[in-house]
Structure 1
Amino acid sequence: MSLELCHMALRQTLDLVALTDETLQGLTRRKFTSDELYGEVLGKLLGGNGVRGPSGILIASESADTACCNGRVFHLRHERLVERSDVICIETGSSYASSLVLLEGGAEVVAINWKEVCSSVEEFQAFFHPKVLAAMAEPILNFVSCRISGKPAGVIEAFNYPGHATEYDADVLRSAAVVMGSLLAVSNGMRETEQAFNYTIEALARACEAAEEDTGRHIVRVNRYSGALAANMGFNIEFIQDISISAQMHDVGKIRIPSEILLKKGLLTAKEMQLMRQHPAFGSEIIGDSPRLRLAHEIALAHHENWDGTGYPKRLRGERIPLGGRIVKVADVYDALRSKRSYKGAMTHQEAVAVFRDGDERINPAAHFDPAVLAAFFRIEHMFDMIYDSSVPKIGLNHTKKSKTKTLGRGDTEKI
């Protein structure tokens, strides 16, 4: 029996190692919450599908004042679904299983069976918090308790192993505690780094918008439009999150365009228009070739390309246009139509939607937009209106005043 238990413990430990490797490889794209990570780790530990494991697990973390631990009890239902209890507050020292590893001088991990410390199963139940017993919904016969290091510290307690709790079960639970503590620490560090990264690119995007009206709000809206389109089109959460932060970099190349051209009220000269049309290339150069900024690079370079190949700067056609560029093009054009600029007035939502449906002298929807992205726009166009209205000051801005496209005065789409 001991050899069989050893093999089971080894298999579970290898599963945890594989999860660790998979998680570390994906941490640059995924930041675990504690509940997400707990769920994945517990799926490797709880009994079911031939795996030796406990029938329930409590995971608790110390509160800020360390006066108690807040945790939940998890179960495996139908050998697949991990379920959890309501939050349980366990005061320090009030639970035997927690105190063994959390109190000063306590062991790192312990395995206890009722016969080793009590004369009856009923007596053994007094060692556990009443809400833990209620969540287990069965008498606790044995447990393994292990301290989780890190900030905040915590404890993982596994209840009711088949037969009795063993040293092998303790070793597996210790491995799980190390995995959770380590991966959460790395993930939290990655989250802080990501927040700093996002702040940096937001600052750069805002600097590029500083010369134009509506500073800052335009880039926020384009992010939100783009994320909404990507979500409606069924893309995964990583792509949705990425485009929702990368879209704001679409016009970063304008930092190289003189403000007298950006703010010019009349028609651009041929030379000025030629320079303006260089801003996508300028943007891609500024962003560079960092893998983390790949989507932002593609968006900056491709958001003025047209589906029929008549756009710029590379005259790409169809699916040769990077997907991010195709999505942001729709978002950027909508916001440009809705926004007041030095050279044009603002359209209502209904007028902008009409342009996307019927076109005008500058925009041919069927020729300029990816049909799939355009279809997604029409499915959620009401969301675009809500996003725009939620970010535009209502005082002193008549953004609903009709303004025909012929009043734009550019004769081209370089500012859209």
Structure 2
Amino acid sequence: MPLERCNMALSQTLDLIQLTDETLRGFSRRVFTSDELYHEVLGKLLGGNGRRGPSGIFLATEYADCACYRGRVYHLRHGQLIEGSDQITVDPGSSYAISLTSSEKAHEAVAVNWGKISGSVEEFQGFFHPEVVRAMEGPILNFVTCRISGDAPAIIVAFNYPGNATEYDADVLRSAAVLIGSLVAVSDRMRETESAFGYTIEALARACEAAEEDTGRHIVRVNRYAGALAANMGFNSAFVEDMSISAQMHDVGKIKIPNAILLKQGPLSPREAQLMRQHPAYGAEILGNSPRLKVAREIAWSHHENWDGTGYPKRLKGQRIPVAGRIVKVADVYDALRSRRSYKKPMTHEQALEVFRVGDNRINPHAHFDPEVLATFFKIEHMFEMIYDSSVPKIGMKRRKNGGNGGDTAGKDKLPG
């Protein structure tokens, strides 16, 4: 084996190792789909910049219902991975490359060159599915094939290495197959864990809202408002996703506030109001120091802070308030204005917009809200209306439209939300 070819194979292997490291670190922020992982690895294998690699790859998933494989041929064009074929269905018995993966050595990668098993290149083409041959845009001269094990078994066949396909190429493909199978399995488990995490914090959020009206719908709406604001402010997808699940934890501290205070019809006494203002601190205490709950914790303790420093519990001002809290403040106030509470009537969307424009006896929008968040709110206010209306029962919508002036924003010593 020439040293140059060995170095090329080593370079591909190092690329796969780097991809493994990046993917595992990325799982803390993102759960990959199988297709995404497949594409990442295929791009590394097909390579470029003069490194050794096949000219095409057939990747197919095993389907138990038809005892067949379905997949596509991929190529690399100008650094971009492209699909070189429509979906191809292959009977394992009709393809030599796939039948090799069913042998007793299926866990190994096998390299085959046309001259070793066939009298001519033309004859060699008969060992493959015709659509695969057509997708290769030229005669197949060699291949390496390997099985991908795991919950979703698959095969990967790499065609037309420069010169001959070698044992080094087989080792690289085998490494790629192990990488795909392992990372897909890890990603699936992470997705299950993430789903359980989401269900758990949603259950906690619902428990905190249980004593008040509109149980459950309020926290869903605040999540959606906050996600929409974050996305339209240009934040990356990881932060938007965090906001879309963490915003519902904004009032988690209310679980420590007596129902008699939460549901009181009249104004709160000074002592009751002081206790109510402790719920942001209680929320931060409940959520603790888990890195996964960092955004939720920031939201819990800062969503009642005001841009001008007049809020609570820490009287933070401007940029010192976490941006997650500034976003949720707008989302929470809008939903509070629109919602019926024990101490106030609901407002229409137009009435709520007026409060955000000029304020009322409790809200000074230009002093209380981050100007950038407020500007974004007005750009997408129609989305807020659609989110609210899509979650409110029609009977409630009718009552709201036929109601009076919407009532006082607070009606007692409670901030909206």
TM-score bracket for the superposition, by shorter chain length:
over 0.9
1:399 aligned partner: 400
Say which SS state the counterpart of residue 407 (structure 1) adopts. Answer: coil
Distance 2:396 2:7 in 1: 73
Q: Which residue of 2 aligns with 1:74?
A: 74
Distance 2:71 2:297 in 1: 43
The Cα shift of 1:56 comes to: 0.8
2:257 alignment partner in structure 1 = 257
Counterpart residue number, 1:317? 317
Q: Supply the distance in 1 between the matched residues of 2:64 and 2:369 (Cα, whole angstroms).
A: 52
Residues in 2 aligned to 1:48 and 1:168: alpha-carbon distance in whole angstroms = 18
CA 1:401–1:318: 2 relative to 1, 3 Å: farther
Question: Cα–Cα, structure 1 residues 19 and 288, in superposed 2: closer, same or farther, change >3 Å?
Answer: same
Displacement of 1:102 after TM fit? 2.9
The answer to whether the 8 Å contact 1:360/1:405 transfers is no
1:334-366 deviations in Å (ceiling 9; x for gaps): 111111111111111111111111211111111
Match of 1:112, as an amino acid? V
Q: Which residue of 1 aligns with 2:149?
A: 149
Tell me, in whole angstroms, the C-alpha distance in 2 between the residues paired with 1:318 and 1:396. 37
Q: Aligned partners of 1:209 and 1:6: how far apart in 2?
A: 63
- Report the CA distance shift for 1:2/1:367 in structure 2 as closer, same or farther (over 3 A): same
SS of match in other structure, 1:74: strand
Q: Secondary structure at the match of 1:151?
A: coil
1:129 and 2:153 aligned = no
TM-fit CA distance, 1:64: 3.8
The question of 1:266 aligning with 2:263 is answered no
CA deviation profile, 1:25-84 (whole Å, cap 9, x unmatched): 221211111111112112211142111111111111112436111212111002x10011
Structure 2 vs 1, CA of residues 64 and 252 (structure 1 numbering), >3 Å: closer, same or farther? farther
Deviation at 1:105, TM superposition (A): 5.2
Deviation digits for residues 145-188 of structure 1 (CA, Å, limit 9, x no counterpart): 01111112111110111122111111111111111111111111
Partner of 2:415: 414
1:285-296 equivalent positions in 2, closer than 5 A: 285-296=285-296
Tell me which amino acid in the other structure corresponds to 2:358: D
The 8 Å contact of residues 250 and 283 in structure 1, kept in 2 or not, is answered as yes
For residue 241 of structure 2, what is the aligned residue in structure 1?
241
Q: Supply the distance in 1 between the matched residues of 2:389 and 2:341 (Cα, whole angstroms).
A: 17
TM, length-normalised to structure 1: 0.96
- The alignment status of 1:361 with 2:361, answered yes or no, reads yes
Output the CA distance in 2 between the equivalents of 1:162 and 1:21. Answer: 29
Match of 1:159 in 2: 159
Deviation at 1:231?
Answer: 0.6
> What is the CA distance between 1:415 and its match in structure 2?
3.5
Q: Deviations over 1:116-139 (max 9, x none)?
A: 111122211111112222322222
Cα distance change on mapping 1:107 and 1:20 into 2, 3 Å: closer
Say whether 1:83 aligns with 2:82. Answer: yes
Aligned to 1:51: 51
The structural deviation recorded for 1:414 is 2.1
Question: Alpha carbons of 1:64 and 1:226: their partners in 2 closer, same or farther (altered >3 Å)?
Answer: farther
**Unaligned runs of at least 5 residues, structure 1:** none
1:69-218 equivalence runs, <5 A? 69-78=69-78, 80-84=79-83, 85-103=85-103, 106=106, 108-218=108-218
SS of the residue 1:112 aligns to: strand
SS at match of 1:43: helix
Shift, 1:409, TM fit:
5.2
What's the CA shift for 1:23? 1.2
Deviates more, 1:160-169 or 1:97-106: 97-106
Shift of 1:264: 1.3
Name the SS for the 2:191 alignment partner.
helix
1:275-314 matches, cutoff 5 A? 275-314=275-314
Q: 1:67 to 1:172 in 2, by over 3 A?
A: same
**TM-score, normalization by structure 2:** 0.96
The residue aligned with 1:345 is: 345
Shift of residue 86, structure 1, vs aligned partner: 2.5
- 1:242 alignment partner AA: D
Q: Report SS of the residue matched to 1:395.
A: helix
Q: CA deviation at 1:395?
A: 2.5
- Larger displacement relative to structure 2 (266-275 or 292-301): 266-275
Query: Whole-Å Cα distance in 2 between the matches of residues 180 and 340 of structure 1?
Result: 51
Aligned-residue identity in percent = 70
Give the letter aligned to residue 219 of structure 1: I
Q: Which moved more, 1:22-31 or 1:5-14?
A: 22-31
Distance 1:377 1:283 in 2: 26
Counterparts of 1:278 and 1:61 in 2: how far apart (Å)?
55
Contact 2:61/2:152 (CA < 8 Å) preserved in 1? yes
2:246–2:295 CA contact under 8 A, matched in 1: yes
The residue type paired with residue 204 of structure 1 is: L
| Cα distance between partner residues in 1 of 2:371 and 2:237 | 22
Deviates more, 1:338-347 or 1:86-95: 86-95
Distance 2:114 2:244 in 1: 54
Q: How many residues align?
A: 415
Distance 1:278 1:414 in 2: 13
> Is 2:314 the counterpart of 1:336?
no
> Aligned letter for 1:82?
L
* Structure 1 residue 221, shift from structure 2 partner: 0.5
Contact 2:111 2:170 in 1 (8 A): yes
**Is the Cα contact below 8 Å between 2:343 and 2:412 reproduced in 1?**
no
